[in-house]
Chains A and B, each alone.
Chain A
């Protein structure tokens, strides 16, 4: 059998101006165009690189409303083989526990891949929970912050990946199957090719799973299966600032700033030199 890979992708609103409904605490998504979460394209790229070297199959999976088919089309355009859309009204309103539960059950149903990739975090709620939670549900080892897959040995059942931490790289040997979360901004996702997109329209490599297929208890999914609830949404309190503004000549402005910072006790002039006073 050849190498099986799967990548979780999220369909997210692409704007900085998504607003909240303060009454329900939910996002107002109407009229806001969506995109594939940018970090997930790093994960797709990482998986496609493994495929470039070792062959095999890459599928994506997303739990999302049906409009996310557009996102699946996008990554198929990058060279992904097929997509799975997990969608059902009862899945709506899920927190990360309930999202990861449904994803895990769907992945189990589809058959565990050798490598299960995720992005580091999303742009809409950026919890970075999902990869670890899916690993916990499926009882798989997991590695975060991966920027390279150095080796995959399916016969012996392991992979070697490199993870990028703040102050070091670590090469980790992990048993397969494994969950891999791609380091943020670690890849340059390949462009979408028209020929691949045409394949999407010709072959329709798309599978849809609803709760009819998964048969999950409604108490375990969606809003009902979510231990966290958004109780209320308020404005962020402002930090009090002095808000003094200088307009005019740039040279004067610089002198004004130095004067103000001296008044604050941040800059001091000693022996003909300005220095920052250590607190």
Chain B
């Protein structure tokens, strides 16, 4: 037997949380319960539901080759913060066809902070297909009504989340870098850098639930792992939510062999910009990166010039990186670039223009020709010379 545990659609829990016994209901709960949406004003194509019918913060996790992905665990960090502020609990959702892998992944989600994990399972879900997964997730969310749904904005998450949101006729905010709760309205502020990357837009979905948001990998750190944490696993049969007939299927897969670690996992990154200018220049950066046990990245201009592959672009339309050491060489420091290095430990900039904005975003800056400095750095590291 599958041992399913069914849940009914919950509403915001009115009982005081432990430790609050006899106390007043927290203000945020009162606000969330009393929120009313005027159905007359809403698009009649949408089912009009009241926000008070929705509760819990969900993080939708993904499995990568049978293991829970790092970006899924990272999303538990903002999930936990939102759950606290909304006075509710943090839950994870996993979907797939491999029971053992799902259960292991669910435990990881619990060790990293989820209180409960919904596991939607079916043999028919062994192979990931965006449309099929998205429809099952949407049906599941429609029944169980989470107040908030967070997805990692991995390649998968970016194709899955908008389909889920649209099927629920819910709003969705992409690539958030912060989440907060508006204490006056009980709505989640989904905070994202638009366009210029120097501004932050606070996006809300006051009349629709769930409130759906995504964040790129590495924007949030992973919460600490604690193997003693316990939590509940709720198994569900995907068939109960309708598994659509797949209209697409993978015929063949070909691995792209990669020797280097992906930039988003690198501890040290030597990043080059237009100022480095040539393939020969980037070979020197490769050497420096190698000596530092790191990898090479680049600005968008370097990518556009064909000096660095797009997977190694740092910034708003590239990767957010969390290196301990980030060395920007011949990069001016446009806002769209520096938004990708906010989470880095120590930032070094080498640029010949003393006015280059990159110096405002660096711990240690050197105003000089990059080639001379990098040549000397390579020499010191190669010889082990004292400084």
Instruction: Give A contacts to B, CB under 8 Å.
Output: 16-20, 25, 27, 95-97, 100, 121, 123-133, 135-137, 141-145, 160, 165-175, 178, 181, 184-185, 217, 219-220, 224-239, 241-251, 253-262, 264, 266, 269, 272-276, 278-279
Contact = CB atoms under 8 A, between A and B. Distances in A.
B365 A245 contact: yes
Interface in B114-163: 130-131, 134, 155, 158-163
A81 to B, nearest CB: 27
B222 interface: no
A136 B255 contact: no
B91 to A, nearest CB: 22
Given A16-B334, A239-B361, A258-B377, A226 B248 contact: no
A254 B162 contact: no
A255 to B, nearest CB: 4
Contacts of A128: 158-159, 162, 174
Given A97-B170, A142-B159, A251-B372, 9 more contacts: A121-B317, A166-B155, A167-B255, A170-B252, A228-B190, A234-B199, A247-B367, A249-B368, A254-B373
10 contacts: A96-B172, A123-B317, A167-B255, A170-B253, A184-B310, A227-B169, A235-B198, A253-B368, A257-B348, A274-B380
A130 to B, nearest CB: 8
B166 A266 contact: no
B317 A17 contact: no
Interface of B: 41-45, 130-131, 134, 155, 158-163, 165-167, 169-175, 182, 189-190, 193-208, 247-256, 258, 262, 267-268, 291-294, 310-311, 316-317, 324-325, 334-336, 339, 342, 345-348, 354, 359-369, 372-373, 376-377, 379-381, 384, 386-387
A165 B163 contact: no
A236 B292 contact: no
Contacts of A245: 354, 359, 364-367
Nearest to A272: B384
A231 B189 contact: yes
B307 to A, nearest CB: 14
Contacts of B43: 217, 219-220, 224-225
A153 to B, nearest CB: 13
Contacts, number: 284
A129 B162 contact: yes
B373 A253 contact: yes
| Interface class of chain A by DSSP | mixed
Contact of A242 (B163, B339, B364): B364
In the A-B complex, the 9 residue pairs with the smallest Cβ-Cβ separation, listed nearest first, are: A227-B171, A250-B372, A254-B376, A220-B43, A141-B247, A228-B171, A127-B174, A129-B162, A136-B166
B247 A254 contact: no
B366 A253 contact: yes
Contact of A233 (B41, B202, B366): B202
A242 B248 contact: no
Contacts of A168: 253-256
A234 to B, nearest CB: 5
Given A170-B250, A274-B384, A246 B369 contact: no
Q: By CB atoms of chain B within 10 A, which of A137, A238, A241, A242 has the most? A: A241
B377 A254 contact: yes
A172 B367 contact: no
Contact of A96 (B162, B204, B361, B384): B162
A220 B41 CA distance: 10
B258 to A, nearest CB: 7
Q: By CB atoms of chain B within 10 A, which of A184, A229, A273 has the most? A: A229
A173 B171 contact: no
B205 A173 contact: no
A247 B354 CA distance: 9
A261 B166 contact: no
Contact of A133 (B44, B162, B384): B162
Given A217-B43, A236-B197, A229 B203 contact: yes
Q: By CB atoms of chain A within 10 A, which of B189, B311, B384 has the most? A: B384
A246 B364 CA distance: 8
B342 A239 contact: yes
Contacts of B251: 160, 171-173
A260 B172 contact: no
Contact of B42 (A25, A173, A219): A219
Contacts of A167: 255-256, 258
